Chain A
Amino acid sequence: DTEVTQTPKHLVMGMTNKKSLKCEQHMGHRAMYWYKQKAKKPPELMFVYSYEKLSINESVPSRFSPECPNSSLLNLHLHALQPEDSALYLCASSQAPGLLAEQYFGPGTRLTVT
C-alpha cells in the first residue's frame, strides 16, 4: 500500500465550529506532515511529526492543533477558523526524518470557512 488517505475530501465549517481532518498511511513511514495550499500557490509547510513527536511548527496559529495518535495516523484539529484559512490541506509522509526521500501526498481536504 503506497497511498496516503485523507478524510473528509471536502469540509465546510463556520467560524465557531470545531472539526478535525484525518490522515492515514500504512507504508511504515515515520515522518508525517501537514501542508496548506492556496489556489495557484505551492504547498506551505505547517507541521512535521517525527516518530510521533512534533518536530516542526511553522508558527501556525493555535486555532490549528495537530495530533499524531500513532505512527499511521495524523489529525489536524480546527477551531475558530477564519475565512482566510480556506484552502486545500495536504497530508504527506516520508520514510524517516533525515533521509533524502520522497514525500507521498494525500489527496487533500478542501476546506471552506464561512
Chain B
Amino acid sequence: GENVEQHPSTLSVQEGDSAVIKCTYSDSASNYFPWYKQELGKRPQLIIDIRSNVGEKKDQRIAVTLNKTAKHFSLHITETQPEDSAVYFCAASTGGFKTIFGAGTRLFVKA
C-alpha cells in the first residue's frame, strides 16, 4: 500500500535560519500533498498543500516543492521563528478518502 517517508525526524535550527523537511511517497497515483503542523496538545492544522499539477507553491515564509518523477516533495520554512516550533507532518492522498501521513518532523527553533 501507500507509504510516505519523512526526514529528518528531528530538526533544530537557530531563529532566522531556514528549515527543510523532505518526504517521499510510493503511490504514483497520489495527487494531493498537504502539510500539517501540530503543536503540543493541539490538533493538526493545514499550513500549505500542493496538487500534482503544480511544481511549487509559496505562502509567505512557507513553500512546498513537488517532484512527481522522483516522488519527492519538500517543505521549506524561511526566517524561522520560535513559534514555528512544532511537529510537522507531510501527507499524500490519491484524492479519494485516504490520506497517508509521514512519521513527522519535530522542529525546534532556538531563540
The interface on chain B, measured as residues whose beta carbon lies within 8 A of the other chain's beta carbons, has a size of 22
> A20 to B51, alpha carbons, bound, how many Å?
36
Tell me the A44-94 residues at the B interface (CB within 8 Å): 44-45, 48, 50, 55-56, 90
Q: In the assembled complex, how far is the CB of residue B27 from the closest CB belonging to chain A, in whole angstroms?
A: 15
Are B98 and A43 in contact, CB atoms less than 8 angstroms apart? no
A108-B99 contact given A42-B89, A100-B93, CB 8 Å threshold: no
Q: Is B61 an interface residue (CB 8 A)?
A: no
> Does A105 lie within 8 Å of B43, measured CB to CB?
yes
Stretch of B11-19, B65-73, B101-109 at the chain-chain interface = B101-109
CB of A97 within 8 A of CB of B96, answer: yes
Minimum distance in angstroms from B18 CB to a CB of chain A? 24
Bound form: Cα–Cα A29–B5 in Å: 29
Residues of A contacting B82 with CB < 8 Å? none
How far does the Cβ of A46 sit from chain B's closest Cβ, in whole Å?
11
- B104 contacts which chain A residues (CB < 8 A)? 40-42
A31 at the interface (CB under 8 A from B): yes
Chain A residues with CB under 8 Å of B101's CB are: 42-44
CB-nearest residue of chain B to A49 = B97
Q: Are B44 and A98 in contact (CB under 8 A)?
A: no
Q: Using A42-B104, A102-B49 as known contacts, say yes or no to A90 and B97 having CB atoms under 8 A apart.
A: no
Residues of A within 8 A of B (CB): 31, 33, 40-45, 48, 50, 55-56, 90, 97-100, 102-108
> What 12 additional pairs, Cβ within 8 angstroms, besides A42-B89, A48-B98?
A40-B104, A43-B101, A45-B98, A56-B97, A97-B96, A100-B32, A100-B49, A102-B34, A104-B46, A105-B45, A106-B43, A108-B43
